[in-house]
Amino acid sequence: MKSISSKIYMYILYTFLYLPILVLIVFSFNQSKSRANWTGFTLDWYAALFRDERILTSLLNTVIIAVCASVLATVLGTMAALGINSMKKTGKAILMGVTYIPVINPEIIMGISLMILFKFFVTHFHFQFGFATLILAHISFDVPYVIYNVLPKLRAMNPNLVEAAQDLGCNPRQAFFKAVIPEIMPGIFSGFLMALTYSIDDFVVSYFTSGTNVEPLSVTIESMTRVKVSPKINALSAIIFVVIAAIMIIRNIIENKKLRHDLALSRAARNEGVRR
Amino acid sequence: MKAPKSLAIPYAVWVLIFTVVPLGLVVGFAMTDQDGSLTLENIFAMSEYMSVLFRSILFAIIATVICLLIAFPASYIISRASAINQSTLVVLLMVPMWINFLLRTYAWMTLLEQNGLINRLLGLIGLGPYNLINNSGAVILGMVYNYLPFMILPLYSVMVKIDQSIIEAAQDLGSNKLRLVRKVILPLSMPGISTGVIAVFVPSVSTFIISRMLGGGTNDLIGDIIEMQFSGNSYNPHLGSAMALVLMIIVLFMMSLFNQFGSEEDVIL
Amino acid sequence: MKRRFLIILTVLALALSLSGCASPASDSDQRRPTEEILEEMGLDPELFSDYDYGRLYGQEITLNVANWGEYMSINDDEIIDVNEAFEALTGITVNYKTYASNETLYSKLLSGGATYDIVIPSDYMISKMINEGMLEKLDFDNIPNLANIMPSFLNPQYDPENEYSVPYLWGMVCIIYNTTMVDYVPESWSALWDENYAGNILMFNNPRDAFGIAQAYLGYSLNTESHTELDVCASLLREQKEIVQGYVMDEIFDKMEGGSAAIAPYYVGDAVTMCDDNPDLDFVIPKEGTNWFVDAICIPTTADPDNKEAAEMYINFLCEPEIALANCDYVGYSTPVQQAFELLDDDAKSDFRRYPDDEFLRENTEVFVNISDDANAYMQTLWTQLKVDNSNVWFVPIFLVCLIAATVFVNVWRARKKRRDDF
């Protein structure tokens, strides 16, 4: 796969993926509001962005919703995974079947169905659209990802682990917290991260379940793209891009280092073997 | 010793209230009229919207096929790269995905507009301006751009497991490239393809924001029409629910066609 | 593992502390005198009524206001921010949201997601909402500035007893066009069907306004309830769809100002704004006649009852001459507030497209009234069909072929796989 044609292919593909974003970022430094004419460099849009209370509030809303929803979803999902893992066939199949629904169901259907449900709550109980509806909705689509991440870890766990812990003098509770939880922790953590990402990125479900008072960032962005467009959006995209790219690149560097280390180790081991 | 089953009870209650009941409400709304009496009118009224339904499915199929055609070689190339290059390429693929899809779609708006950058550049060499936005092509482009990683990632994760020695063996036995793809790589990457197809088709067929932003209101899809019944220009949640029900059935049909779902390990990224 | 926990905890703590910051610091300090606040805002206390705007100060009320996009003087450095001025004056927080059309507002109110304390629908929608019991009666003791409204705007057809609404701004529908792209002055609605501009025409993205154009062009009443007439309008719109670039509402600013489209129908006030931003643009009132509309401020029944007095205070505030002037300056629409009209510069006052005389309004314009539910539902259906209809007859066959191909492909593959597995 070192052939020239595949290299060219990959370059074209990644250009396709990055070009629009780069254009967006470049024009965040443009003096005029135009999205096609370059009139000069400015940082005004960034300053304007940080003065825009609506954007800042909705950013904060997004963080609050995503953190609350993913933490609660992680707790709920981990418990569910533990329970499901001990279930018999039928119960397991039913519960896992229902768990698929939020994953495969089109987001718009999830959005409108929850909207109808919350509307019902509003008319029958003292209830309002806002943080509560958003967090409830987000938990609902977050939990399956936690379950999917935790279950395989549970299944891969050595069944004798708990017994061993008990033999070593733990009571069942201690055994659970000292042996089981650490064993499945990587799964819980990646489930949490996934839930967090989905919550931060979500638009469709939030669009239908946010009321008047609480607006997550994605909903704000959508309403901004509908009225007179401001380069503030470009500035916002640029910041998001830089933050995400930085996180991903750092993660990648760390992983690559580990990878190189492993490779070197295995090579050394192989050489050792050859020498023998 | 195993964890008590009762730990799953809160979740079971949760899915009942927030997944099963809402879907039941959608079905209920679809089967009733404004006064709450039972009717099949909404379902029958769907026949008027068949063309938009067909268009949504058609656009989604086209987008899925294009994604597959682009993603297949790309995932293969990534899966054959060195381990370090692989992780870099995958990360590069995921970075744009983490930017809100509204912003990504908005970026295309600015590129494709009548006086957008592409038309400006074409103007420099004396071409255009072309109508690049507000047509079906732009909508499909938006789908492909947004959902391409959903196709590449599952394909890659399957292809990376194909042992290089199998490919070499096939080559040693005299397979040409086409035969190699058809007889070895394609069958082995089938699970990835079916996951990818679902992962691209489902959001494409139900999107409402891509068609609004890039289709300019002249290429409405079923998602737009559903949204219109709930918070848009014509308020009729009963009809909207009927449409949602039909959409759900289509998705179920697609799933049964590509019934790779069912293995719990299949998590779409 | 412990470190990861720490990270999560840190994130949580961060979020909590941020949310702590977000809650407004309790404003214990006393409200300053009205004059001082007004002067700081660049407003003339002389022109302000002696209404007691401070009486709800310190009660931490949040007022949810929903308005059309680009329809209030806010977020502009050069002109007063109306909401900021109101907040400074009253201590009430304004949570300002926008919607794209009357129909969208109606949906949002009904679908339960929205609880607005103030909405600003147009005439026909107001009478529809009154009929459906969606609007609250106003307490005019809290709105003495109703006296500022020109008498011709009181007791309008849509609210005959003037119980539910206070006029906000008004205007007509015009054709806005780019003089560098259109060779003639489009004095007739027919220009919107001119094939020379295929792909450069924009159209209203809401049924009532879009059908209104077709009705005006055909010489029908803008309030026709005849299904045959509506059918003719729908087929005319369908014909136009072939050459329309897009159906837009607020998106029009961007597209017309940026030169992405040549010609479009829109509201006069917004046309004024667009022409200010791009001198290539001009607008004209078509000779066949047009729609004359009034948008008025109302309180929906779903509003928070505790906020009603604050909402009425807001309505009164919007009728203050200087505030009304700021709004009509900023959005370009025409004001029904007498003193604000007098404060306008002469150019605006004498522009008959913005301030037509009564005779012109009588002869050339028609107001939308609430048409019967039946006609309305029929129009909605025609509109949805227009939006979904596509003349491309190939859709169904291509779709069926694709479906069959997919099924065959999958089944063949499955069969082959099965055969392989059997071996």
Give pLDDT tens digits for B228-245. 888 877 788 898 999 999
C192 and C242 Cβ atoms separated by less than 8 Å: no
C422/C178 Cα distance (integer angstroms): 71
Judge: A201–B227 Cβ closer than 8 Å, yes or no: no
Cβ of A101 under 8 Å from any chain B Cβ? yes
* Nearest-CB residue to B51 (from C101, C388, C417): C388
* Nearest-CB residue to B95 (from A76, A203, A244): A244
C191 and C185 Cβ atoms separated by less than 8 Å: no
Task: Return the bridge partners of C246, or none.
Answer: C202
What percent of chain A is predicted at pLDDT more than 90? 35
Give pLDDT tens digits for C327-355. 998 899 999 999 999 999 888 888 889 99
Task: Return the bridge partners of A141, or none.
Answer: none
Give pLDDT tens digits for C39-63. 888 888 888 888 889 899 888 899 9
B98/A252 Cα distance (integer angstroms): 15
Radius of gyration of chain A (CA): 24
Last residue of some domain: A230, A249, A265?
Answer: A230
* Nearest-CB residue to B11 (from A143, A162, A237): A143
Give pLDDT tens digits for A45-74. 999 889 888 889 999 999 999 999 999 999
Lowest mean pLDDT among A163-167, B12-16, C8-12, C242-246: C8-12
* Range C290-306 average pLDDT: 93
The Cα of A89 is separated from the nearest Cα of chain B by a number of Å equal to: 12
* Range C80-102 average pLDDT: 90
Question: What is the chain C residue with the closest CA to A226?
Answer: C251
B247 and B205 Cβ atoms separated by less than 8 Å: yes
Task: Return the bridge partners of C295, or none.
Answer: C122, C169
Cβ of B54 under 8 Å from any chain C Cβ? yes
The answer to whether residues A108 and A195 belong to one domain is yes
Please determine, for residue C3, whether its predicted confidence score (pLDDT) is greater than 50. Answer: no
Give pLDDT tens digits for C128-165. 999 999 999 999 999 999 999 999 999 998 999 999 99
The answer to whether residue A47 is domain-embedded is no
Identify the band that residue C420 occupies on the pLDDT scale cut at 50, 70 and 90: low
Question: What is the chain C residue with the closest CA to B229?
Answer: C107
The answer to whether residue A48 is domain-embedded is no
Identify the band that residue C202 occupies on the pLDDT scale cut at 50, 70 and 90: very high
Judge: B58–C399 Cβ closer than 8 Å, yes or no: yes
**Entry pTM:** 0.85
B259/B193 Cα distance (integer angstroms): 11
* Nearest-CB residue to A226 (from C4, C12, C69): C69
* Nearest-CB residue to B218 (from C246, C381, C413): C246
C171-293, which class in CATH? alpha beta
Judge: C254–A119 Cβ closer than 8 Å, yes or no: no
| ipTM of this complex prediction, to 2 decimal places | 0.88
The answer to whether residues A202 and A129 belong to one domain is yes
Chain B segment 82-141 residues within 8 A of A by beta carbon are 83-84, 87-89, 91-96, 98-104, 106-111, 113, 115-117, 120
The Cα of C27 is separated from the nearest Cα of chain B by a number of Å equal to: 37
Q: Can you give the pLDDT at residue C210?
A: 95
Residues from chain C that touch A208, judged by Cβ atoms under 8 A, are 113
DSSP characters for C49-105? ----TTTTTTS--EEEEEEETT-SS-S-SSS--HHHHHHHHH-PEEEEEEES-HHHH
Angle at B223 between CA B220 and CA B227, to 5 degrees: 100
Domain count for chain A, please give it: 2
The CATH number of the domain holding residue A69 is 1.10.3720.10
Q: Can you give the pLDDT at residue B268?
A: 39
The answer to whether residue A108 is domain-embedded is yes
The answer to whether residues A136 and A257 belong to one domain is no
Fold of B50-221: MetI-like fold (1.10.3720)
Q: Can you give the pLDDT at residue C188?
A: 94
Identify the band that residue C5 occupies on the pLDDT scale cut at 50, 70 and 90: very low
Distance in Å from the first CA to the final CA of chain A: 34
The Cα of B72 is separated from the nearest Cα of chain A by a number of Å equal to: 12
Which structural domain range is residue A3 located in? 1-42+233-276
Judge: A148–B70 Cβ closer than 8 Å, yes or no: no
Question: What is the chain B residue with the closest CA to C386?
Answer: B218
Residues from chain B that touch C244, judged by Cβ atoms under 8 A, are 218
Question: What is the 3 state secondary structure string of chain B?
Answer: CCCCHHHHHHHHHHHHHHHHHHHHHHHHHHCECCCCCECCHHHHHHHHHHHHHHHHHHHHHHHHHHHHHHHHHHHHHHHHCCHHHHHHHHHHHHHHHCCCHHHHHHHHHHHHCCCCHHHHHHHHCCCCCCCCCCCHHHHHHHHHHHHHHHHHHHHHHHHCCCCHHHHHHHHHCCCCHHHHHHHHHHHHCHHHHHHHHHHHHHHHHHCCHHHHHHHCCCCCCHHHHHHHHHHCCCCCHHHHHHHHHHHHHHHHHHHHHCCCECECCCCCC
Residues from chain C that touch B55, judged by Cβ atoms under 8 A, are 388, 390, 395
Which of C7, C8, C247 has the highest number of chain A CBs within 10 A, making it the mutation to test binding with A?
A: C8
Fold of C30-169+295-364: D-Maltodextrin-Binding Protein; domain 2 (3.40.190)
Q: Can you give the pLDDT at residue B28?
A: 93
Give pLDDT tens digits for A41-53. 999 899 988 988 8
The answer to whether residue A89 is domain-embedded is yes
Please determine, for residue C257, whether its predicted confidence score (pLDDT) is greater than 90. Answer: no
C192 and C213 Cβ atoms separated by less than 8 Å: yes
Residues from chain B that touch A4, judged by Cβ atoms under 8 A, are none
Identify the band that residue C397 occupies on the pLDDT scale cut at 50, 70 and 90: low
Per-residue confidence in pLDDT tens, chain B, 269 aa: 567 888 899 999 999 999 999 999 999 999 998 888 888 888 877 777 877 888 898 899 999 999 999 999 999 999 998 888 888 899 888 888 888 888 889 889 888 887 788 888 888 888 877 888 888 899 999 999 999 999 999 999 999 988 888 888 888 887 788 888 888 888 888 889 988 998 999 999 999 889 988 988 778 899 998 998 888 777 888 989 999 998 988 888 887 777 654 343 444 33
The answer to whether residues A204 and A249 belong to one domain is no
The answer to whether residues A158 and A272 belong to one domain is no
Mean pLDDT of chain C: 86
Q: In the complex, which subunits touch A with 3 or more CB pairs below 8 angstroms? A: B, C
Identify the band that residue C1 occupies on the pLDDT scale cut at 50, 70 and 90: very low
Q: Can you give the pLDDT at residue C16?
A: 46
The answer to whether residues A252 and A156 belong to one domain is no
Identify the band that residue C25 occupies on the pLDDT scale cut at 50, 70 and 90: very low
Q: Can you give the pLDDT at residue A274?
A: 59
The answer to whether residues A152 and A264 belong to one domain is no
Give pLDDT tens digits for C314-323. 999 999 999 9
**SS3 label, residue C334:** strand
Please determine, for residue C18, whether its predicted confidence score (pLDDT) is greater than 50. Answer: no
Q: In the complex, which subunits touch B with 3 or more CB pairs below 8 angstroms? A: A, C
Q: Which residue has 């799964």 as its token pair?
A: A187
What percent of chain C is predicted at pLDDT more than 90? 52
**Fold agreement between C30-169+295-364 and C171-293:** yes
The Cα of C103 is separated from the nearest Cα of chain B by a number of Å equal to: 5
Q: Is B201 buried (19+), middle (13-18) or exposed (0-12) by CB count in 10 A?
A: buried
Distances (CA, A) of C310 to C117, C305, C316: 9, 10, 10
Chain C segment 99-128 residues within 8 A of B by beta carbon are 101, 103-104, 106-108, 110-111, 113
Instruction: Extract the tokens encoding B3.
Output: 């964890």
Q: Can you give the pLDDT at residue C337?
A: 94
Lowest mean pLDDT among A30-34, B148-152, C105-109, C253-257: A30-34
The answer to whether residues A69 and A8 belong to one domain is no
Judge: C402–B220 Cβ closer than 8 Å, yes or no: no
Residues from chain C that touch B235, judged by Cβ atoms under 8 A, are 103, 106-107, 110-111
List of residues 6+ apart from B177 with CB closer than 8 A: none
List of residues 6+ apart from A189 with CB closer than 8 A: C4
The answer to whether residues A201 and A255 belong to one domain is no
Lowest mean pLDDT among C114-123, C168-177, C332-341, C381-390: C381-390
Give pLDDT tens digits for A100-149. 888 889 999 999 999 999 988 888 887 888 899 999 999 999 999 999 99
A173 and A234 Cβ atoms separated by less than 8 Å: no
Residues from chain B that touch A149, judged by Cβ atoms under 8 A, are 267
The answer to whether residues A66 and A197 belong to one domain is yes
Lowest mean pLDDT among C72-76, C181-185, C297-301: C72-76
Distances (CA, A) of B38 to B28, B33, B42, B245: 9, 7, 10, 16
The answer to whether residues A217 and A179 belong to one domain is yes
Q: Can you give the pLDDT at residue C422?
A: 63
Identify the band that residue C307 occupies on the pLDDT scale cut at 50, 70 and 90: very high
Please determine, for residue C390, whether its predicted confidence score (pLDDT) is greater than 80. Answer: no
C219/C196 Cα distance (integer angstroms): 24
**Domain limits of chain C?**
30-169+295-364, 171-293
* Range A178-185 average pLDDT: 87
Cβ of C419 under 8 Å from any chain A Cβ? no
User: Could you tell me whether strands C281-284 and C166-178 are parallel, antiparallel, or unpaired per DSSP bridges?
Assistant: antiparallel
* Nearest-CB residue to C95 (from A60, A71, A213): A213
Which H helix or E strand runs over C169?
strand C166-178
Please determine, for residue A229, whether its predicted confidence score (pLDDT) is greater than 80. Answer: no
**Domain limits of chain B?**
50-221
